[in-house]
A and B are shown apart, each in its own frame.
Chain A
Amino acid sequence: MVRVELRGVVKEWEDFRLEIGELAVKDGEFLTLLGPSGCGKTTTLRIIAGFEKPDRGEILFDGRPVNDLPPYERGIGIVFQDYALFPHMTVFRNIAFGLEMKKLPKTEIERKVRWALELVGLSGLENRYPEQLSGGQQQRVALARALVVEPDVLLLDEPLSNLDAKIRERLRGEIKRIQRELGITTLYVTHDQEEAMAVSDRIAVMNFGRVEQVGKPLELYYRPKTEFVARFLGLSNIIEVETTDGVVKLGNIELKMGTKGRVKVFFRPENVKIHRGSEARVVDYEILPGRVRLMLELNGHTIISEQPLTDLPFDPERPPKRVGVKIVSFTHL
């Protein structure tokens, strides 16, 4: 397995500029590029694969520049959003394709294809054609085809976005399991924050052609460095205030910020704990699966709180007009 690095990579179009100063996928790591559509995440993946040439910068596999290597010499496996299974080949021949390119002996090809089919749980379907498979099965074939050549790096470009929600959740678990089992360096591209948090060792959030922040899922979630990262991952409370002494006052709550001047206080809805009290007015109230969401007005600021249904100081069906509030964890952007 290898470590993949991008250094000072720049690619420019008339109306878009991709710039990645430094990004590394560690040996055996599962790194996700997360961002809205058009943020440059797929292009980044295609640059690593060798389908796009950067205008500047280096792509390194284990410290070795691969800029001038064509895709077929980079040792990658790739799964596309639409799978790109060869429609004129059976499942078996699709998976065997990469092995045939390596000119492996027939018996070995057969053995490896069987192994790959078993890995993705598709044994017995080798003689089907792609069009005879369900979306989820096609996805597994694409994964098997990419893995069977034992690539150094696995690249997954929105591999689940064409599937139903249920299958998506099951397959993401399987992808994670297989990745762990093989210990393969993996770069995963998605726009789905939940998917990213569920599968990744680390996440790189991208916006407008730049990497905004890289970190472990919880690190990004609770300690985002920018407003974009904060807002892209889940619901956020961001309150912009002026402080002269490093303390922010919201009603009778005091938050010690460790910085002065204009600050953006940030905290997640689940960190706004509710108790019997009256400092905040309940503006809006929703019951959701397993939790409730309260829109509160506190000292002229609107904040969101989410609490488990089981942990409420009132009857969920009869919310009070006013509640008490405690912010248990916060940071600033």
Chain B
Amino acid sequence: MGSRLSKLFLLIPLAFLVVFFYVPLVSILKTGLWENGLTLRHISSVLANDYHRRVIAFTIGQAIASTLLTLALGLPGAYIFARYDFPGKSIIKAVLTVPFVMPSVMVALGYILLFGKSGIVTELIGRDLGILYSWKGILLAHAFYNFPIVIRMVSSLWQRINPHYEEAAMALGAKGWTLFRKVTLPMISPAIFASAMLTFIFCFLSFSIPLIIGGYRYATIEVDIFTSIMMLLDFKTGSALAIIQIVLSMGFMYLYLRALDAYAKREEQRVFRKPRPFTRRDWLSLKGLLVGVYSMIIFLFIVSPLLAVLYDSLRFNDAWSLEWYRRIFSTEYNPMFGATTLDAVRNSLTFGLATVVLSVLVALPIAYALHRWDFRGKRLFDVLVMLPLASSAITLGLGYIRVFHGTVLYFTAWIIIAAHTVIAYPFVLRAVSTSLKKIRPNLWEAALSLGAREWKAFLKVELPLALGGVIVGAIFAFAMSIAELGATYMLAKPEYTTMTVAIYKFLGARQFGSASALSVLLMAVSTLGFLIIERVGEEVW
């Protein structure tokens, strides 16, 4: 165990989690389960209601279907990326990072522009594919977000399989499908399972996408909670739904963490197989054709909503124009969201960067404690600090309304930043923990033997080596904060409108041109944010 001082240091993030996660959580439990004593009345009335039952079934069903679609789209890519080198691979790789930085309201907008009644694709092929306002659109958008995760996680493990295993199996007579099924698949399955679970959780808790492109018929639990609270002002039903959602997602999260452990264990084998360069012969074979077609498909899949938004933002009355950009900077929309576009840009940036700082400050001491200390109940501690991952933004917003309404914090920017931090910090914690685990323990011991105290050894030796993880976590936190819609919408008073909320309001008002222009601006701002984080991250240490 560490010194008294470092334990004190851990108390601050823990206090933060208690106040901004556990207290709101308990208040939801109380609202949903307590009425002059413990009661299951609200839960059972939700479960007895046909509409809510259908919503729950749909939420799970669409998450399963989205996960399968994501795997189908991602696994071939994982194989190609792990095994082959070909011209254009780096471009595809760069393109694959786009979904991480693209807020879901923007993807939803892209799909409206592509597949809507007068959408680009609809007009191109002359008929409505029925993708928008249906489950098809939800599945597609979910796959869009998650298949890069599958590609990344699976291909990185695939590359690390010691080639001798496959060679030994081949020497023993295994080939083709049998070789894959009996030798390769069992070795990459932790990555497949972990990425699938992560995808499933994202889809299960998905909000903006079903809200915008699912329409009312295809609501998820998350959307259902939102409507119960924000439109029907029914906190009892909202809380009961939130409890059902949390119980389910905790189970899923447990499976995910287990899968992640297995994945991390496999990842430790640091044997790299160099991907084989594609030869001319390869290109001319069926394999080359498939790789080419697949690359084209994922390229189009990712780039098309982006291009649709960009195109739409530059078209005004069927002509090229910057009119939409002029409009969003004029004052005509101010009454609609109570702030100027510049305010929204400033809010998004402020909340984003504050979230980065705060979630790194919360995650670092916890990561240190998990990495360095051994204590009773450590497994439980690990689960408790990761629990925010299982809770959704809407649930958090609901809890905040219950707890902080009437306090000085309510309607401040701080409460929004706190919500974003609770949502984003588990990802920072994971990223930092993973890179800390990869550092050889000898380095720490060497530092101690040379006279460094524990915290100094951490600051001077381990943290600089884990810097990559911190930066990845910070970028993730920034992206999540920028894209966050549900909690911000529930908690922000008009002058704290963010760009994402503004885009959502434009969509509600069918102002697609303005939404597009603001989306392009949002992309620019978030790219700028990533660059800043990367620069600052490199310089701080």
Cβ of A88 within 8 Å of any chain B Cβ, yes or no, is yes
Contact of B447 among A87, A97, A102, A155 (CB under 8 A): A97
Other-chain contact of A77, B443, B449, B454, B461 (Cβ < 8 Å): B449
Q: CA separation between A102 and B450, bound complex, in Å? A: 9
CB proximity of B449 to chain A, nearest CB, Å: 4
Whether B453 and A72, one on each chain, are in contact in the complex, defined by CB atoms closer than 8 angstroms, is: yes
| Residues of A contacting B464 in the complex (Cβ-Cβ under 8 angstroms) | 88
- Is the CB–CB distance between A149 and B445 below 8 Å? no
Q: Which residues of B contact A71 (CB under 8 A)?
A: 445, 448-449
Contact with B446, one of A70, A86, A88 (Cβ below 8 angstroms) = A86
- Residues of B near A49 (CB, < 8 A) are 445, 449
Query: Is there a chain B Cβ closer than 8 Å to A16's Cβ?
Result: no
Complex CA distance for A145 and B461, rounded to whole angstroms:
15
Most A CB contacts (10 A, CB to CB) among B442, B443, B450 go to: B450
Please report whether the interface of chain B is mostly helix, strand, loop or mixed according to DSSP: helix
Q: Return chain B residues, CB-CB under 8 Å to A78.
A: 445-446, 449
- Minimum CB–CB distance for B5 against chain A, Å: 14
A131 CB, min distance to chain B CBs, angstroms: 13
Whether B447 lies near A80 (C-beta < 8 A) is no
Contacts A72-B451, A145-B450, A149-B451: A101 and B456 contacting too (C-beta < 8 A)?
Answer: yes
Q: Does A146 contact B (CB under 8 A)?
A: yes
CB of B4 closer than 8 Å to a CB of A = no
The answer to whether the Cβ of A282 comes within 8 Å of any Cβ in the partner chain is no
Alpha-carbon distance between A149 and B453 when the two chains are bound, in angstroms: 15
Which residues of chain B come closer than 8 Å to A145, judged between CB atoms?
446, 450
Judged by a CB distance under 8 angstroms, whether A98 is at the interface is: yes
Chain B residues contacting A98 (CB-CB under 8 Å) are: 450-451
Residues of A within 8 A of B447 (CB): 86, 97
A51 and B451: CB pair below 8 A? no
CB nearest to B467 among chain A residues: A88
B202-253 residues at the A interface, CB under 8 angstroms? none
Q: Is A174 an interface residue (CB 8 A)?
A: no
- Which chain A positions have C-beta within 8 A of B440? 82, 84
Report A55-83 CB contacts with B as 1/0, cut-off 8 Å. 00000000000000011100011101010
How far does the alpha carbon of A72 sit from the alpha carbon of B447 in the complex, in Å? 8
Complex: chain A residue closest to B447, CB-CB: A97
B427-456 near A? 1/0 per residue, CB < 8 Å: 000000000000010110111111111101
Q: Is B465 an interface residue (CB 8 A)?
A: yes
Most B CB within 10 A of own CB, among A98, A101, A149: A101
Report whether A80 and B446 are in contact in the complex, using a CB–CB cutoff of 8 Å: yes
* Contacting residue for A84 out of B446, B452, B460, CB 8 A: B446
B438 CB to closest chain A CB, in angstroms? 12
> Is the beta-carbon distance between B449 and A76 smaller than 8 angstroms?
yes
Of B445, B451, B456, the residue contacting A80 (CB under 8 A) is: B445
Interface size class of B (residues with CB under 8 A): 10 to 19
Contact count band on A: 20 to 34
From A72, A82, A149, contact of B448 by CB (8 A): A72
Q: Which residues of B sit under 8 angstroms from A76, Cβ to Cβ?
A: 449
- How far in angstroms is the closest Cβ of chain A from B351? 32
Q: Please name the residue on chain A nearest to B461 by beta carbon.
A: A86
| Residue among B446, B449, B451, B460 with max Cβ neighbours from chain A (10 Å) | B449
Cβ–Cβ contact A72 & B452, under 8 A: yes
Contact B445 A70, beta carbon cutoff 8 Å: no
> B461, A70: Cβ atoms under 8 Å?
no
Taken together as a complex, chains A and B put the C-alpha atoms of A84 and B445 apart, in Å, by: 9
- CB A321 to nearest CB in B, in angstroms, measures 46
Query: With A87-B465, A88-B465, A97-B447 in contact, do A82 and B442 touch (Cβ < 8 Å)?
Result: yes
Q: How far is the CA of A145 from the CA of B442 in the complex (A)?
A: 14
Chain A residues, CB < 8 A from B460: 97
Contacts of B454 in A (CB 8 A): 70
Tell me the bound Cα distance from A70 to B108 in angstroms. Answer: 57
Q: Which residue of B lies closest to A151 (CB)?
A: B449
Neighbouring B residues of A84 by C-beta, 8 Å: 440, 442-443, 445-446
Task: Give Cα A98 to B451, complex, Å.
Answer: 6
How many angstroms from the CA of A196 to the CA of B408 in the assembled complex?
Answer: 72
Are A97 and B449 also in contact (CB < 8 A) when A82-B442, A86-B443 are?
no
Q: Which of A65-121 contact B (CB under 8 A)?
A: 70-72, 76-78, 80, 82, 84-88, 97-98, 101-102
Give A71's nearest chain B residue, CB to CB. Answer: B448
**Known contacts A84-B440, A84-B442: A97-B452 contact under CB 8 Å:** yes
Chain A nearest Cβ from B431, distance in angstroms: 18
In the assembled complex, how far is the CB of residue A38 from the closest CB belonging to chain B, in whole angstroms?
19
* A 34-52 binary contact with B (CB < 8 Å = 1; else 0): 0000000000000001110
Smallest CB-CB separation from A70: which chain B residue? B448
| B453 contacts across to A, CB distance below 8 A | 70, 72
User: Residues of A contacting B448 with CB < 8 Å?
Assistant: 50-51, 70-72
Q: In the docked arrangement, what's the CA distance between A70 and B465, Å?
A: 23
Q: Give the docked Cα–Cα distance between A51 and B442 (Å).
A: 10
Contact A80 B450 (CB under 8 A): no
Which residues of chain A have C-beta atoms less than 8 A from B443's C-beta?
A: 84, 86
Query: With a CB–CB cut-off of 8 A, which chain B residues contact A50?
Result: 448
Q: How far is the CB of B374 from chain A (nearest CB, A)?
A: 12
Interface centre among B442, B447, B451, B460 (most CB of A within 10 A): B451
Contacts of B446 in A (CB 8 A): 78, 80, 84-86, 145
Task: Say yes or no: B465 contacts A149, CB within 8 Å.
Answer: no
Bound together, the chains give a CA A146 to CA B446 distance in angstroms of 9
Q: A77 — which chain B residues lie within 8 A by C-beta?
A: 449-450
CA distance A102 to B452 in the complex (A): 9
Q: Within 8 Å CB of A102, what residues of B?
A: 451
* 0 or 1 for each of A247-277: is its CB under 8 Å from B? (1 = yes): 0000000000000000000000000000000
Contacts of A51 in B (CB 8 A): 445, 448
How distant is the Cα of A86 from the Cα of B464 in the complex, in angstroms?
A: 10
A317-B465 Cα distance, complex, nearest whole Å: 61
How far is the CB of A101 from the nearest CB of chain B, in Å?
A: 4
Q: How far is the CA of A155 from the CA of B465 in the complex (A)?
A: 25
Closest chain-B Cβ to A118's Cβ sits at a distance in Å of: 20
The distance from the CB of A35 to the nearest CB of chain B, in whole angstroms, is 21
Cα(A77)–Cα(B443), bound, Å: 13
In the complex the two chains form, what is the Cα distance from A23 to B452 in whole Å?
A: 28
Q: Is the CB of A101 within 8 A of B465?
A: no
Min distance, Cβ A158 to any Cβ of chain B, angstroms:
12
Q: What would 12 A/B residue contacts be, using CB atoms closer than 8 Å?
A: A51-B445, A70-B448, A72-B449, A72-B451, A77-B449, A80-B442, A88-B464, A88-B465, A97-B452, A101-B451, A101-B456, A102-B451
* B interface residues, Cβ below 8 angstroms from A: 440, 442-443, 445-454, 456, 460-461, 464-465
In the complex, given contacts A49-B449, A72-B452, A80-B446, what are 11 additional A-B residue pairs having Cβ atoms less than 8 angstroms apart?
A51-B445, A51-B448, A71-B445, A72-B451, A76-B449, A82-B442, A84-B442, A86-B465, A98-B451, A101-B452, A145-B446
Closest 8 CB pairs of A and B: A98-B450, A84-B442, A101-B451, A71-B448, A84-B446, A78-B449, A72-B451, A80-B442
Give A contacts to B, CB under 8 Å: 49-51, 70-72, 76-78, 80, 82, 84-88, 97-98, 101-102, 145-146, 149, 155
